Amino acid sequence: GGRLAYMAAARTDISASVGYYGVMIDQMLHESHAIANPLMLHIPTADHFVGPEAQAAIHSGLGHNAKVTLHDYVGLDHGFAAEIGARRDAVGAALADSRTAAFFAEHLG
């Protein structure tokens, strides 16, 4: 999800995109200059697929971009917002989903 949302924001004229998790975005930051429309990323800080170094690179590479909104979820893992599974966190998922809904309402009407 996160990588696809990032690629859509950087490579298309999509009106707005939201990604949960950020697998490999740190390796694609050279494309960030092309983000012309709003992008929101949900980043769980204990993501076992996206380590602390990758998360730091994402924040460093995208944090200054006015089109990008980053939300960290402290202590949560990859899949925290999945509908099922051991890593699901109902509180974190509800927060991320509410932020997503508000983001799309603001940017898509």
Residue 5, Cβ density class (10 Å: 0-12 exposed, 13-18 middle, ≥19 buried):
buried
Side by side, the strands of the sheet bearing 17-20 are 17-20, 39-44, 68-73
Structure tokens at 102: 């508000």
Could you list the active site residues? 47, 78
Which alpha helices (DSSP H) does the chain contain, by range?
2-11, 52-62, 90-108
